[in-house]
Amino acid sequence: MNDETPNTTTENAPEAQAAAFVQSLPPAGSLPLALGTGLVAALIGAVIWAAITVAIEYQIGWMAVGVGCLVGFTVRWFGKGTTSLYGYIGGGLALLGCVLGNAFSILGFVCKQADIGLFKVFEIVDLPVLAGAMRESFSPMDLLFYGIAIYEGYKFSVVARSS
């Protein structure tokens, strides 16, 4: 009978080294998942922005910051990217969510004032008229909040690399 215990440290050394190497790698990012889920988050944020704006009949600039955070965290959670490309995606989609939030708000006010349904408004309002209404309602303060939203979308989209 042999009472010797096998030497597991030398037998498993390559496996241990491989496991340590894999753990040191940054998480793999998924660009399509970041784009898709970020776009959905931008749309959801825009709809929430418009619903609140129409309900209280007042536009709150901080809604843009909420859209930026929502998009940024969504891109980070699902995309898991460690490069600045994911930040650009988050910032761009945050801006898109803000612009859509303003557009949906205008369409919501048209629905409310004309007492028509949401889908009917798309038959009545065309894009040049909507763009003109957005230009009319634009203020310099919008730039500030859009900028903050872009920053938040960028900042929250990138997964920090582990050292």
In angstroms, the CA 29 to CA 42 distance is 20
pLDDT at 117: 85
5 in a domain, yes or no? no
The model's pTM is 0.79
- DSSP for 89-154 reads HHHHHHHHHHHHHHHHHHHHHHHHHHT--HHHHHHH--HHHHHHHHHHH--HHHHHHHHHHHHHHH
Domain span at residue 121 reads 30-157
| Residue 74 buriedness (CB in 10 A; 0-12 / 13-18 / 19+) | buried
24 in a domain, yes or no? no
163 in a domain, yes or no? no
pLDDT at 101: 95
12 in a domain, yes or no? no
Count up the domains in the chain and report the number.
Answer: 1
57 in a domain, yes or no? yes
72 in a domain, yes or no? yes
Give the SS3 label for residue 4: coil
71 in a domain, yes or no? yes
pLDDT tens for the chain, 163 residues: list them. Answer: 555 555 555 566 778 777 776 666 555 788 999 999 999 999 999 999 999 999 999 988 889 999 999 999 999 999 998 899 999 999 999 999 999 999 999 999 999 988 888 888 888 888 898 899 999 988 899 999 999 999 999 999 998 876 5
pLDDT at 4: 56
51 in a domain, yes or no? yes
pLDDT at 67: 97
pLDDT at 1: 54
pLDDT at 43: 98
- DSSP for 47-70 reads HHHHHHHHHHTS--THHHHHHHHH
